[in-house]
Chains A and B, each alone.
Chain A
Amino acid sequence: MLEVRDLSKGYGKRRVVDELSFTVRPGVVTGFLGPNGAGKSTTMKMVMGLVRPDGGRVTVGGVPYASLDDPVRRIGALLDAGWIQPTVSARTNLRWAAALGGVPAGRVEQVLDLVGLAHAGNRKVKGFSLGMRQRLGIAMALLGDAPVLMFDEPMNGLDPEGIRWIRRLLKTFAAEGRTVLVSSHLLSELAQAADEAVVIGAGRLIAHRPVRELVAEVPRGPVLVTAPEADRLARLVMDRGLLVTAVAPGTFTVGDTTPAWIGELACAHRIAVHELRQEVGSLEDAYFAMTASSTEYRGGAPENRSAS
């Protein structure tokens, strides 16, 4: 369990995190969402004791980070995959971190295996691809076999295969009963991986809800229709006052309607339909609508409003 209470941090006049509170439960993957500059990384750095909050507190399993007697075994974090010695091997980097955290050296081989880097353990990190670096960063986070795991933008720059791999990994961790917090600035990245979402904007909590609900609220897009007699069907639709946009010969889209309505209409006029589907609105659109409106109700000087 990870608890953030009334957490605040400012740099100069800019408030990066503003009285933020949320609780991350064990057993589920919690997405930590917000546009770039919303304060996600700063919050995570405060969780790990790297940045000192101006106010509020963070507890890991009920204990503030600074008071954890064995932090590496309590919480594992990937905050920045670039925090690595490039001129030494992946294995040496991990052995160094293991020594620091009081983790037996044998665990190094386990985590290398777990992230699929066993074959590259002796290679210098500077020759690693972005994906391999992310895997190494995840290996670092897993060294302590901690019950709480936190990953900052772990999917950044990964190929689809890498993203699928991380999704599976996150779900496995949650299924093992761990507390998993994973940040992203893209809702679509986490829509399939996360069970819950903590959405922040400008350092403030916007929503903390099941991801399923967020996705369900995504506005529906236009209905795409492909039919041999497309022109006749399009005219019928237009006659009923709906907006039709031609996409290609034999294909058009209709706004503000449902596939069912178009289907009934076509059936009533005995028109064959080859394809009928509704584009799901972009998750990003829904998410931007949510985060944008939340920044609008915030008062104060302009420099308080946005954080970079």
Chain B
Amino acid sequence: MNRLVRAERLRLASHRSTWGSLLLCTVLGLGMAAIVGTTPAEDGPIEMPDVLLGIALCQTVLLVLSVLSVTGEYRAGTVRLAFQAVPRRWPVLAAKALVMGALSAAAGFVLATASVLLVRLVAAEGTAPALDTATWRQILVVPPVFALTAVIGVCVGALCRNSAAAVSVALVWSLAAESLLALVPGPGAALSRWAPFTVLTSLIDPATTSSVPGGPPGSLLYAALLTAALLTAAAALLRHRDAA
């Protein structure tokens, strides 16, 4: 597993798309924070969800990067070399999930912290959120949300294998499908509040509501279980399918 993680880190670091995505995240995250910080607040202080507006965009960028971390290897054919080196195959997927999850979590933490600090720097006095426990709690929920998002991206990539298909599935799922599900008459609305991206988003933005009990820890645990199930399914299919 150690060597797989090393190989995956090497692969990530050598691709320009990795650095491009991280740069895009920085621009989006901090850009939004700067706009929010400098826009005169109409009624009272700037709320944390507004500070983290750009974070939702970063989440999508990192989701796509995670999808491509798998499908890019299918397109290049190098995934077959990985399967030759590791005939059991699932460790290849696990290493990708681990590395992409860790990268996304780290990026999420840095971006969320930087967003808060930037808003505190540029906002009018007394309007920026204080660096208190409540704010830190909001910041610290971002890394696990980002990590789970990345792992879901890796799974979607492994299940679809084709870049265009996988990116479409990931984007439609995360941005549209769950909200559309809410519009389905009958159980639609109730179901959508249990859907994974809705639950993950509700952790950062209280305007989105989920029905998962237990507060943020409960939601994270629930989302982690769903993600683990998806990862297991992807690994099982990976083992089963011919890789040529």
Interface residues of A (CB under 8 A from B): 42, 45, 48-52, 65-66, 68, 71-72, 77, 79-80, 82-89, 92-93, 95-97, 99-102, 140
Task: Tell me whether B84 and A48 are in contact (CB under 8 A).
Answer: yes
Listed residue (A42, A84, A96) with the most chain B CB atoms within 10 angstroms of its CB: A96
B87 partner, pick from A68, A93, A95, beta carbons under 8 A:
A68
**A83 CA to B73 CA in the complex, in Å?**
9
User: Looking at the complex, which one of B14, B76, B85, B88 makes contact with A101 (CB distance below 8 Å)?
Assistant: B85
Whether B4 is near chain A, meaning CB under 8 Å from some CB there, is yes
Select one of A82, A93, A100 contacting B82, CB under 8 A: A100
B243 close to A88 (CB less than 8 A): no
Report whether A72 and B10 are in contact in the complex, using a CB–CB cutoff of 8 Å.
no
Q: Which 10 A-B pairs have the closest CB atoms?
A: A83-B77, A99-B7, A100-B85, A100-B7, A49-B87, A66-B87, A88-B14, A50-B243, A99-B6, A51-B242
Interface set of B (CB-CB < 8 Å, partner A): 3-4, 6-7, 10-11, 14-16, 76-78, 80-88, 242-244
| A50 engages B78 (CB within 8 Å) | no
Rounded to whole angstroms, the CA-CA distance of A48 and B87 in the bound complex is 8
Which chain B residues border A80 with CB–CB below 8 Å? 77, 80
Q: How far is the CB of B204 from chain A (nearest CB, A)?
A: 33
Most chain-B CB neighbours within 10 Å: which of A48, A51, A86? Answer: A48
List A contacts of B85 (CB < 8 A): 71-72, 97, 100-101
Residues of A within 8 A of B10 (CB): 92, 95-96, 99
Q: Which residues of B contact A82 (CB under 8 A)?
A: 77
Chain B neighbourhood of A102, CB < 8 A: 3
- Provide a sorted-by-A list of 22 A–B residue pairs whose CB atoms are within 8 angstroms: A45-B244, A48-B84, A50-B244, A51-B243, A71-B87, A82-B77, A83-B78, A84-B77, A86-B76, A87-B15, A88-B14, A88-B15, A92-B14, A93-B78, A96-B10, A96-B78, A97-B85, A99-B7, A99-B10, A100-B7, A100-B85, A101-B85
- Partner of B80 from A50, A66, A71, A92 at Cβ < 8 Å: A50
In the bound complex, what is the Cα–Cα distance between A42 and B243 (angstroms)?
A: 11
Give the nearest-CB partner of A140 in chain B. Answer: B81
By a CB distance below 8 angstroms, the chain A residues around B243 are 50-51
Which residues does chain B contribute within 8 Å of A68, judged by CB atoms?
A: 87
CB-CB under 8 A for A49 and B76, given A92-B10, A99-B6: no
Chain A residues with CB below 8 A from B82, complex form: 100
Which residues of the other chain, A, contact B78 by a CB distance below 8 angstroms? 83-85, 93, 96
Give the residue of A72, A89, A95 whose beta carbon is less than 8 angstroms from that of B84. A72
Chain B residues with CB under 8 Å of A96's CB are 7, 10-11, 14, 78
The 8 Å CB contact of A100, one of B14, B81, B242, is: B81
| A65 / chain B contacts, CB cutoff of 8 Å | 87
Nearest CB of B to A46, in Å: 9
Selected from B4, B16, B80, B86, the residue in CB contact (under 8 A) with A87 is B16
Q: Which residue of A lies closest to B84 (CB)?
A: A48
Chain A residues near B87 (CB, 8 Å)?
A: 49, 65-66, 68, 71
* Closest Cβ–Cβ distance, residue A94 to chain B (whole Å): 11
Check A77 against B84 for contact (C-beta < 8 Å).
yes
A52 and B3 contact, CB distance less than 8 A: no
Contacts A49-B83, A77-B84, A101-B85 aside, 16 further interface pairs with beta carbons under 8 A come to A45-B242, A49-B87, A50-B84, A50-B242, A71-B87, A72-B85, A82-B77, A83-B77, A83-B81, A84-B77, A85-B14, A85-B15, A85-B76, A95-B10, A99-B6, A100-B86
CA distance A93 to B82 in the complex (A): 12
A71 — which chain B residues lie within 8 A by C-beta? Answer: 84-87
Bound Cα distance from A92 to B14, whole angstroms: 7
Please give, as numbers and ranges, the residues of chain A lying within 8 Å of B4 by CB-CB distance: 100
Q: How many angstroms from the CA of A50 to the CA of B7 in the assembled complex? A: 20
What chain B residues lie within 8 Å of A92 (beta carbons)? 10, 14
Least distance between B115 CB and chain A CB atoms (Å) = 31
Q: Which residues of A contact B88 (CB under 8 A)?
A: 66
Q: How far is the CB of B243 from chain A (nearest CB, A)?
A: 5
Neighbouring A residues of B83 by C-beta, 8 Å = 49-50
How far, in Å, is B91 (CB) from chain A's closest CB? Answer: 10
B43 to chain A, nearest CB (A): 50
Which A-chain residue is minimally distant from B243 (CB atoms)? A50
Chain A residues within 8 Å of B86, by CB: 71, 100
Q: How far, in whole Å, are A87 and B78 apart by their CA atoms in the complex?
A: 13
Q: How far is the CA of A158 from the CA of B10 in the complex (A)?
A: 31
- Closest CB-CB distance, B2 to chain A, in whole Å? 9
CA distance A100 to B82 in the complex (A): 7
Complex Cα–Cα for A49 and B81 (A): 11
How far is it, in angstroms, between the C-alpha of A42 and the C-alpha of B242 when the chains are bound?
11
Q: Among B3, B6, B14, B80, which residue has its beta carbon within 8 angstroms of that of A83?
A: B80
Q: How far is the CA of A98 from the CA of B3 in the complex (A)?
A: 9
Name the residue among B14, B76, B77, B84 with the largest chain A CB count within 10 angstroms. B84
- Shortest Cβ gap from B143 to chain A (Å): 26
